[in-house]
């Protein structure tokens, strides 16, 4: 039997005890904002790497911005 996408998400959520996640109390809007910031940060890192970037400090800065920017 093939599982649908929602079942896979439910299974992952349950198997990893995500009711205890630091994000479990966030609203849907807050989670969407977090996801968008992280997506943008990852896209920026991939573009930087595709353009030949090699400076780990630049990558770290982008990661830190993605993690913390939405909470400023």
Per-domain boundaries in the chain: 25-72
Cα diameter, the chain: 47
pLDDT value, residue 50: 98
Average of per-residue pLDDT across 65-70: 78
Length of the chain: 72
pLDDT for res 42:
93
Residue 70 in contact with residue 37, Cβ under 8 Å? Answer: yes
State the pLDDT at residue 45: 95
* Contact assessment for residue 23 and residue 31, using Cβ atoms and an 8 Å cutoff: yes
pLDDT of the residue at 3: 79
Instruction: Give the pTM.
Output: 0.72
- Residue-wise pLDDT for 4-61, tens only, equals 889 999 999 999 999 999 889 999 999 998 889 889 999 999 999 999 999 999 999 9
């Amino acid at each position: 039997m093939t599982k649908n996408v929602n079942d896979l998400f439910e299974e992952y959520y349950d198997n990893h005890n995500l009711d205890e996640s630091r994000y479990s109390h966030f609203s849907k809007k807050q989670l969407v904002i977090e996801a968008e910031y992280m997506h943008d940060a990852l896209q920026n890192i991939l573009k930087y790497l595709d353009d030949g970037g090699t400076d780990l400090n630049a990558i770290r800065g982008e990661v830190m911005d993605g993690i913390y920017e939405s909470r400023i």
